[in-house]
Amino acid sequence: MSLFEDVMSMAVQMPMEERERLARALGLNVHTRGPGKTLPLNQFVNRPDISNPQAWRKAETGHAVLNTATGPTVEIEPGPRAIEAMWSHLEEVVAPQGESEVPNVRSLPQGSPVVVHTAVVTDLALGREEAVSFFNQPPVEVRLATASYLAVLGATEDEEQVRRVRAFVQPYAVLSLGPMASSRAAELMLLHATNGLSALDALVAATAMAHEIPLVVREPGAFAGIPELTVVKYF
């Protein structure tokens, strides 16, 4: 990683007041936009409250949220129904039964922003009843990781399924993988790969950690031993 990326990784974790101090130390006017007047550290302006999903997503599009609206118009109802049971013809992977010490997603405050793990999206596409119920009446604000979006796209079988996946993500913020999450994902693999953490798991977990929000999973086992990550089950 370059020195610039190292500095950026640290800077984006700083409180807003500290970022403004950094800008002033570099001789920048924190309230002035234009060439040479800003740093790419959230532009040193107050960002919208994450509790307001519409305002947050609009402000963050192109910065922390992918612009998934690009490309040809998709004439499919957006949201979970677009991929519900899309892979029902495949053999369903049954989630392990039994008690778990990991709390249920409903233990979070109503409307809390979360990152939903790839396996939960897969359960929706398989037509699993619990996943259908979760996505159609979510007790939280669903956000997806770029890594999950790409993984599901990579598993599509034809152009129709690609269109359905594109329609599915439209209502949700798809969180981009910036320098901080990229670095954290590598750290997680170095620490936990031998404990069963996959590269995809590391990318999704790092995205949740970078945005400081919980991760909603089907099976929490792979994320054991990551103290900075809040994990909840979706059913």
- Which of the given ranges, 57-61, 68-72, 73-77, 160-164, has the highest pLDDT on average? 160-164
Domains belonging to the chain, first-starting first, are 3-46 (no CATH), 80-233 (3.40.50.1010)
pLDDT at site 181 = 86
- Is the confidence at residue 231, as pLDDT, over 70? yes
Kind of pairing between the strands at 141-145 and 215-217: unpaired
On average, the pLDDT of the chain sits at 81
pLDDT at site 69 = 79
pTM of the model: 0.75
Distance CA 65, CA 171 (A): 12
> Average pLDDT of 221-228?
90
Residue 59 pLDDT level (bands cut at 50, 70, 90)? low
Burial status of residue 109 (CB atoms within 10 A of its CB: 0-12, 13-18, 19 or more): exposed
Distance CA 90, CA 121 (A): 15
pLDDT at site 178 = 82
> Average pLDDT of 194-212?
94
- pLDDT tens for each residue of 10-50: 665 566 566 666 666 665 544 433 333 333 333 333 455 55
Share of the chain above pLDDT 70, in %: 69
pLDDT at site 147 = 97
Closest CA to 106 of 97, 118, 96, 114: 114
Distance between first and last Cα of the chain: 39
> Average pLDDT of 208-218?
95
Higher pLDDT, 63 or 187: 187
